[in-house]
Amino acid sequence: MPQNPAHSAPLPMSSGVSSSTVIHSHTHPQFTPPPPPPFHTYSHEDLAANMAAAVGVSMLPGSPGPMDELGHGSHVAGIVGAAGSNALLVSGVVWGNVDLLACRFIDGDGLGRTSAAVDCVNYCLAQGARVIQASWGGAAAPNAAMQAAMEAAEAADALIVVSAGNDDRDLDAEPQYPASYAAERANVLAVAAVGRAGALSSFSNRGAGTVALAAPGEAILSTLPGNATGVLSGTSMAAPFVSGAAALALSVAGPGALPAPALKRLLLESAEPTAQLRGRVGAGLLRLDRVVAAAAALAAAPTTAP
């Protein structure tokens, strides 16, 4: 299945808690590529303060670096961690004290190899990633190397948040990877998109046994290359809301309090079940307020000496 543009892999860190996101693409409603190069996600006025000191990498042969060519990665990065309190248009879910690190594996035509995606996941793990955001997909069958990378992520206590895809498909009946890994792995979570009224977006993939959470994914304002902002729709826009929530939970709960499976459970148990999502999304709608409250309760819980 063809994929559309994307590229960038933001790595959020909050209060010294490292997390990472590998962000690439699905076909997006309302997606219009930005103007031709140069593209400088790292110098965007609403992202620069939160970009990692170590510039990211590209897994594309001959590529000069990880900079965003198509806008998708910059947009997702802004949802995760655009700076706040700066009088600009966008604030990310984790808008302060966050590092965003890029790893590119999709080219200017919107195509990428799974082997390069695996390299990006492993690169982010090597940087101490705790949350990996994967806004890309389309494979109809699982991949052994990707499965091994996800096992390595679980061993490293990294949660992988995956966009469900934009094909109006029931993933319980028609699996699509990497989203469908969520049905079998304790550290993978697939995210659907909803509109402002909370109804599942017409384009969003679903499947209560595979897609656990839904988050806003229609007409989302975020950052684009060239100090621009713009509105995009898609499950790639929904998933980084969950990644940001995961990073906040890690920060609030404190070091060691939330291994990856426990972090996934906290996100799901904090969700709001709704009639609109029943039978289509497993746990329900992301509730950031409940996520933070649950993480704060963990931080406040008394500990016992060994």
In this predicted structure, what is the pLDDT of residue 240? 96
pLDDT higher than 70, residue 154: yes
Q: Which residues contact 67 (CB under 8 A, 6 or more apart)?
A: 38, 39, 40, 41, 42, 102, 104
pLDDT tens-digit series, residues 186-206: 999 999 999 999 999 999 999
- Read off φ and ψ for residue 296, nearest 5 degrees: -65, -35
Task: Please name which of 281, 288, 275 lies closest in space to residue 247, comparing C-alpha atoms.
Answer: 288
Least confident range from 4-8, 40-44, 56-60, 275-279: namely 4-8
Exposed/middle/buried for 49, CB within 10 Å: 0-12, 13-18, 19+? middle
User: Which has more confidence, 256 or 294?
Assistant: 294
Q: Mean per-residue pLDDT for 290-299?
A: 96
- pTM of the full structure: 0.87
State residue 9's pLDDT score: 32
Q: How confident is the model at residue 303, as a pLDDT? A: 65
Check pLDDT > 60 for residue 170.
yes
131 with 24: CB under 8 angstroms?
no
pLDDT value of position 42: 65
Report the pLDDT averaged over residues 104-118. 87
Amino acid at 219: A
The CA distances from residue 124 to 11, 13, 24, 286, 299, in Å, are 8, 12, 14, 25, 26
CA–CA separation, 108 and 287 (whole Å): 35
pLDDT in tens, 42-92: 678 998 888 877 667 889 888 777 877 788 888 999 999 999 989 899 999
How high is the mean pLDDT of the chain? 84
Residue written as token pair 């790595």: 11
pLDDT confidence of 219, banded at 50, 70, 90?
Answer: very high
| Residues 30-42 pLDDT 10s | 434 343 334 445 6
Q: How confident is the model at residue 207, as a pLDDT?
A: 98
